[in-house]
Structure 1
Amino acid sequence: MRYISTRGGTAPAGFIDAVLMGLADDGGLLVPDAMPQLSPETLEAWRTLSYTDLAVEVLSLFTGDDLTREELQGLVRGSYATFRHPEVTPVQKIGDNLHVLELFHGPTFAFKDVALQFLGNLYAHIAAKTGSIIHILGATSGDTGASAIEGVRGKEGIHICILYPHGKVSRVQELQMTTIQGENVLNLAIRGTFDDAQRIIKEIFADAAFKREYHLRAINSINIARILAQVVYYFYAYFRVSGEADGRRVNFSVPTGNFGDIFAGYLAKQMGLPIHRLILATNENDILTRFVNTGLYRPAAFRSTHSPSMDIQVASNFERYLYYLHGEKPEMVRELMAGFGAQGEVRASGEVLAQVQADFSAYSIENEACLNTIHGHYHGRAYLLDPHTACGVAAAELGAVEGEVTVALATAHPAKFDESIRLREITQTFPESIQALFELPQRQTVVEATAEAVRQKLVPFFGGEAGGTEAQGKAITSA
């Protein structure tokens, strides 16, 4: 298995080189050079596997000779030993034709743990085996940061810097990042939105000389390893649900802002998993819904919502989908992304739009509908949804069709978003580890939303002998 750029300007790379590269050197995103195809017999043989055994089978299709089977087994088992549920990602039935796939049983109570526990252990393995320097730079709308930090905290030879939008994440999300005291962790709260943070990350990674000098590695879903790790739970959930579906077709409803989570489902379907429909759920920041329904991909005014991790206008994984949508032709992707840079939009029409609408259904779930869904399931089913999962559940209910069963991805524990939950006068009990966060001191630095301001903090942090504690500070500061 080799990995190539969506823009065609980077030499094919093996799995480990692709992980280390993160963003392709030509500014594109890395994708497999061939999609594994699974027979019905293979799928049936996998049906009863545990989550960890299934993860080994799926991931081994993409790692090639870069990891032995024993190495991969060790990484997978170590990654999911940190999860609180023996099934890792259990499925719960919350309606006659509706299930939720609980992805929040990892250390930080968010679906990002599924990929980032694996990626953190993979980075540590690479550092130990090859002597590579691992300086991780990432952006978060809330959950990626905490999961990434948890995935690498205390690991020898790894330092991590996370950017997030100041004042635009939940209190628990902020505490999970800023209460970590490890000297290998730097939090930068930018005065802007997540889209600004994501733009800064791409600008810095596009500076090839700076990227090489400071050994920058990616933790965001631009890193193909994150997407591949998320593919696994589509297989696991499908096997759990399809056996009880009595011949009904199986859909997945996915709350998304950056397109990575639902793109993992798209890859699973391309591999041969018989998913019927992929339902894309956004909040008011609905660029992806508008693209599916109208063919126009163009950012609109930013809206703060009760589902802040989805408050994203420019989806970093969208380029990967464009690559497959346009027949795996890098020249088309280069043209489309150049047009997006110049005109700020991408358009699809005719047969291309028809293919988009065959690949996805899409709904935008606004604040009141989100809160009403939380209220309805709490009082009607005694099941508490977080506001992101509520978007996915509401979209599943809007798109319900007779003879189909839908799995909505439950992407976070409701305790992470108590500000929203309390708006419907619902009182919840926090898990002990989350409650303890409120008593811990915080460390963060507030900076302007420019690549230069971030670089000024990265140089001492990644360049210093002990991780540059001067850049971190011991309390909340501004710069």
Structure 2
Amino acid sequence: MYYVSTRNKNDRHTASEAIAHGLAADGGLMTPEVLPNLSHNALDTMRDMSYQQRAVYVMNAYLDDFTSSELSVYTTKAYGGGKFDTREVAPVRGVDANTYCLELWHGPTCAFKDMALQMLPHLLTASLVKNQEEKTACILVATSGDTGKAALEGFRDVDKTRILVFYPKDGVSAIQQLQMNTQEGTNVGVCSVVGNFDDAQTGVKRLFSDETLRQELAGRGYFFSSANSINWGRVLPQIVYYISAYCDLMREEKIQKGDLVNVCVPTGNFGNILAAYYAKQMGVPIGRLICASNRNDVLTDFLNTGVYDRNRTFYNTMSPSMDILISSNLERLLFALSGQNDEEVRTYMTQLSETGRYEVSPAIRSKLDKLFAAGCCDDEQTARTIGRMWREHHYLIDPHTAVAFDVLEQYRSKTGDQTPTIVVSTASPFKFCDNVLRAIGVNDLAQGTDILDQLAEQSGVPVPAPLAALKEKPIRFADTVDKDHMADRVLEMLH
């Protein structure tokens, strides 16, 4: 199977090449030429498998320059060895008769990004060997909160890699910031950026396309790669958990094979819900893809109107990982829905870069209407939903998951659609203690990491071990740069 750029489908690469370099040379995103279809009995076959076995089964169809035995080794290392605090890795929890929560935060950094970023280092380092790459990969990451820590943890002390994470100053939660700034490892770097996530993300993309910088680093023995979801090696492992969730519901006899389920996903950069779209296209019986946004509602407006317009106020919300106005992975969806029309996609991306806005064709708009529903909610609604889920179901959720539950309730009220729905839970509530505590009625908040114990005492839910360990860790990183000086920080790290 070959991978092509969304902006030039004649730019073809093997899977290992696509993963090693992360972003196409023209700024496009590497995407499979053809999506594999699940065989008629694939879901039956996977029903009684472990999560690791399912991951091998699914990823094997996309990675024909990797062997099944290689993938078995990688999945055992990524999802075994006690890295996840539950044997199921990505358990599905029943909330009510037709609502299920896919918990993706049981990994080492307590966020869904672990599902991909525990796997990506194995895929990337193997890709370097397969491509006979002698340079060291300099992995650049822009994070709105969770990706940064997950990438740092995944690539910590991995041979032939250096990783530098940029996050928006004052744009992540206190626990998220502490997780990154206490990161251990000899090959890691962390730096905040004055501005918001879009500033950090745009800055990283600019570094990728800076030919002078790339040549300078090549002379030092480095090349750029990415651990953001612009890298196909990030998106692929995410497809697995949607297929796994469906198999779990089959195994538990909550659904029969072939029954439709809807999926409701809180998302800002569109990678998480894009993976659900790919699972649907492969043959998983997914009905409606419900896209949940916070007050930064650019995706909601796009899916409802066909107009993408980032020219709007940026809000810092209590669900910071979704505080995004430029949703990178939408480009892959446009490529698919346009029939892989790279010229059309290129036109949209040029318009976005030059004017901050584009409107898709009537043909794409029609397909969006058939596939997606979308909604948004503000912080007040988010807090109300956290409180309601706690009172009615004794279920503690974080603000991002609350956005999804609120949007699902809006969707059901509007449409009457009571199809069984999987709500994707993307982070532990303990990463957002202050907002969660206020939402369940506690206003006198403890200071520093003591707030973790306060939430545990109030809820009866234990603090996840990786977060409890933060109390003992020293701060290693405290640098801040202007968005125009990110290249200087890269050069300092790679001196």
- Coarse TM-score class (shorter-chain normalised): over 0.9
State yes or no: 1:244 paired with 2:254: yes
- Greater Cα offset, 409-418 or 442-451: 442-451
State yes or no: 1:22 paired with 2:37: no
- Greater Cα offset, 99-108 or 336-345: 336-345
CA displacement at 1:328 relative to structure 2: 0.8
Q: What letter is aligned with 1:378? A: W
Cα separation, 2, equivalents of 1:169 and 1:87: 29
Q: Which residue of structure 2 aligns with residue 325 of structure 1?
A: 337
Unaligned runs of 5+ in 1: 465-479
The 8 Å contact of residues 141 and 227 in structure 2, kept in 1 or not, is answered as yes
Matched ranges for 1:121-270 at <5 A: 121-127=122-128, 130=132, 131-211=134-214, 213=218, 214-242=222-250, 243-245=253-255, 249-270=260-281
Q: Which residue of structure 2 aligns with residue 95 of structure 1?
A: 96
CA displacement at 1:428 relative to structure 2: 1.9
Q: Which residue of structure 2 aligns with residue 477 of structure 1?
A: none
Matched ranges for 1:260-409 at <5 A: 260-299=271-310, 300-348=312-360, 350-400=362-412, 401-409=416-424
The 8 Å contact of residues 25 and 208 in structure 1, kept in 2 or not, is answered as no
CA displacement at 1:385 relative to structure 2: 0.6
> Deviations along 1:65-124, whole A, 9 cap, x unmatched?
x21211111011100012111011000001221110000010000000000000022233
Matched ranges for 1:6-155 at <5 A: 6-8=6-8, 11-64=11-64, 66-81=65-80, 82-127=83-128, 130=132, 131-155=134-158
Q: What letter is aligned with 2:282? A: M
The 8 Å contact of residues 191 and 481 in structure 2, kept in 1 or not, is answered as no
Name the CA shift for 1:367/1:134 in 2 (closer, same or farther; >3 Å): same
Q: What letter is aligned with 1:274? A: P
Q: What letter is aligned with 1:382? A: H
Root-mean-square deviation (CA, aligned residues, Å) is 1.7
Q: Which residue of structure 2 aligns with residue 459 of structure 1?
A: 491
Cα separation, 2, equivalents of 1:106 and 1:121: 16
> Deviations along 1:307-350, whole A, 9 cap, x unmatched?
01100010010111111121111011111111222221111353
Cα separation, 2, equivalents of 1:325 and 1:249: 22
The 8 Å contact of residues 17 and 127 in structure 2, kept in 1 or not, is answered as no
Identity percentage of aligned residues: 39
- Greater Cα offset, 152-161 or 361-370: 152-161
CA displacement at 1:416 relative to structure 2: 0.4
The 8 Å contact of residues 269 and 329 in structure 2, kept in 1 or not, is answered as yes
The 8 Å contact of residues 109 and 466 in structure 2, kept in 1 or not, is answered as no
- Normalized against structure 1, the TM-score is what? 0.92
The 8 Å contact of residues 165 and 194 in structure 1, kept in 2 or not, is answered as yes
CA displacement at 1:403 relative to structure 2: 4.5
The 8 Å contact of residues 200 and 449 in structure 1, kept in 2 or not, is answered as no
State yes or no: 1:423 paired with 2:438: yes
Cα separation, 2, equivalents of 1:170 and 1:185: 21
The 8 Å contact of residues 10 and 26 in structure 1, kept in 2 or not, is answered as no
Per the alignment, in what secondary structure is the counterpart of residue 192 of structure 2? strand
Count of residues in Structure 1 that have an aligned counterpart in Structure 2: 461
Cα separation, 1, equivalents of 2:378 and 2:480: 31
Per the alignment, in what secondary structure is the counterpart of residue 118 of structure 2? helix
Cα separation, 2, equivalents of 1:168 and 1:455: 21
The 8 Å contact of residues 319 and 400 in structure 2, kept in 1 or not, is answered as yes
Q: Which residue of structure 1 aligns with residue 429 of structure 2?
A: 414
CA displacement at 1:9 relative to structure 2: 6.3
Cα separation, 1, equivalents of 2:112 and 2:189: 22
Cα separation, 1, equivalents of 2:159 and 2:38: 38
Q: Which residue of structure 2 aligns with residue 472 of structure 1?
A: none
Q: Which residue of structure 2 aligns with residue 468 of structure 1?
A: none
Cα separation, 2, equivalents of 1:181 and 1:28: 33
Name the CA shift for 1:9/1:268 in 2 (closer, same or farther; >3 Å): closer
CA displacement at 1:43 relative to structure 2: 2.6
CA displacement at 1:183 relative to structure 2: 2.6
Cα separation, 2, equivalents of 1:176 and 1:120: 19
The 8 Å contact of residues 9 and 26 in structure 1, kept in 2 or not, is answered as no
Cα separation, 2, equivalents of 1:126 and 1:59: 15
The 8 Å contact of residues 168 and 197 in structure 2, kept in 1 or not, is answered as yes
CA displacement at 1:434 relative to structure 2: 1.1
CA displacement at 1:396 relative to structure 2: 1.7
Per the alignment, in what secondary structure is the counterpart of residue 267 of structure 1? helix
CA displacement at 1:126 relative to structure 2: 3.9
State yes or no: 1:438 paired with 2:471: yes
Cα separation, 2, equivalents of 1:6 and 1:128: 26
The 8 Å contact of residues 126 and 132 in structure 1, kept in 2 or not, is answered as no
